[in-house]
């Protein structure tokens, strides 16, 4: 059976609580009836704020949508005020943890060492890391490949075995009017996939693209990615379903 095409959404801190609940209900209604999501050909994951996690788990119960957290503590328990552990996240039904996003690195000083410890915490507790990597400045193809692959290796250094979702998000493309050029993204994501394939214990891993991703991009990337990681574009439920439809078409082509 072919691996599913992934469509992920991070809500960051854009939604208040009431709006998030309405969005969860609207998305759940649409994906519950979507044949490609119901069959598992398209795998959808949603990453809301910590306060929104429990209602998200409840809203998506009975669907195949997985819920993820936007961060995770490096430790499993203890005197860590303000932190949330992978142990507790797994206990309440969270299945993924977004780790190493460019905003966490820039605004909160997270280093590759911190990211690696968070990835390890997620994996040892059964969460799939959505590990964000990408060069800060716009570089040439070879330099971008080297930067992204080196970052991936550092961020998984010492982490236990288990699949990860590597999200290639070049920092210069986040929030931009357009995503990174297709040829650039294809080159870097293929290199990331090769790097993951060469790592022992990373079977079942995937590579997705984020950074101003939207409709039409999946087909243009021509199989170089396993899916997309969406941001503000997916606030519109109809727009999100459009990308899910494109993912479904891609999945159908893969088995044809």
Residues 129, 165: contact at Cβ < 8 Å?
Answer: yes
d(C-alpha 10, C-alpha 160), whole Å: 25
Give residue 69's pLDDT band: very low, low, confident or very high (50, 70, 90): very high
Report the pLDDT value the prediction gives residue 178, as an integer from 0 to 100.
Answer: 83
The continuous run of DSSP H or E covering 23 comes out as helix 17-32
**Which whole number is the average pLDDT over 86-91?**
98
Report the pLDDT value the prediction gives residue 122, as an integer from 0 to 100.
Answer: 98
d(C-alpha 3, C-alpha 186), whole Å: 19
pLDDT digits (tens, 9 = 90+) for 20-52: 999 999 999 999 999 999 999 999 999 999 999
pLDDT digits (tens, 9 = 90+) for 112-149: 999 999 999 999 999 999 999 999 888 888 999 999 99
For the chain, percent of residues with pLDDT exceeding 70? 99
Catalytic site residue 17?
A: no
Residues 95, 67: contact at Cβ < 8 Å?
Answer: yes
**Which whole number is the average pLDDT over 98-116?**
97
Q: Give the mean pLDDT of the chain.
A: 95
Candidates 98, 110, 169, 246; catalytic one: 169
Q: Which of 1, 2, 7 is nearest to 165 (CA)?
A: 7
Q: What is the DSSP letter of 75?
A: S
CA atoms within 13 A on the CB side of 204: 7
Report the pLDDT value the prediction gives residue 211, as an integer from 0 to 100.
Answer: 85
Give residue 255's pLDDT band: very low, low, confident or very high (50, 70, 90): confident
What domains lie within the chain, and their CATH numbers? Answer: 5-255 (3.20.20.70)
pLDDT at 2 over 90: no
Report the pLDDT value the prediction gives residue 256, as an integer from 0 to 100.
Answer: 63
pLDDT at 203 over 90: yes
Catalytic site residue 253?
A: no
Candidates 34, 98, 101, 135; catalytic one: 101
Cα 203 to the chain's mean position, in Å? 17
pLDDT at 220 over 80: yes
**Which whole number is the average pLDDT over 7-29?**
98
For the chain, percent of residues with pLDDT exceeding 90? 89
- Which is more confidently placed, 74 or 2? 74
Report the pLDDT value the prediction gives residue 174, as an integer from 0 to 100.
Answer: 84
Query: Strand locations in the chain, DSSP E?
Result: 5-10, 42-47, 66-69, 96-99, 128-133, 165-168, 206-210, 227-230
């Amino acid at each position: 059976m072919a691996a599913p095409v992934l469509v992920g959404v991070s809500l960051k801190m854009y939604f208040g609580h009431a709006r998030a609940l309405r969005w969860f209900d609207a998305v759940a209604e649409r994906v519950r009836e979507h044949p490609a999501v119901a069959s598992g050909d398209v795998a959808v994951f949603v990453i809301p704020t910590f306060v929104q996690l429990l209602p998200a788990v409840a809203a998506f119960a009975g669907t195949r949508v997985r819920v993820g957290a936007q961060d995770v503590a490096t430790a499993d328990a203890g005197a860590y005020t303000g932190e949330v552990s992978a142990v507790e996240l797994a206990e309440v039904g969270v299945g993924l943890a977004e780790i190493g996003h460019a905003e966490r690195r820039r605004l909160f000083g997270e280093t590759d060492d911190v990211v690696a410890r968070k990835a390890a915490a997620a994996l040892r507790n059964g969460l799939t890391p959505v590990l964000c990597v990408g060069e800060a400045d716009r570089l040439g193809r070879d330099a971008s490949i080297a930067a992204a692959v080196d970052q991936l290796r550092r961020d998984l250094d010492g982490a236990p075995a288990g699949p990860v979702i590597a999200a290639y998000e070049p920092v210069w493309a986040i929030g931009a009017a357009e995503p990174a050029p297709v040829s650039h993204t294809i080159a870097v994501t293929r290199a990331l996939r090769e790097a993951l394939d060469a790592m022992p214990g990373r079977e079942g891993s995937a590579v997705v693209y984020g950074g101003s991703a939207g409709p039409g991009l999946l087909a243009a990337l021509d199989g170089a990615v396993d899916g997309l990681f969406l941001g503000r574009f997916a606030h519109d439920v109809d727009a999100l379903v459009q990308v899910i439809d494109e993912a479904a078409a891609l999945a159908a082509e893969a088995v044809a």
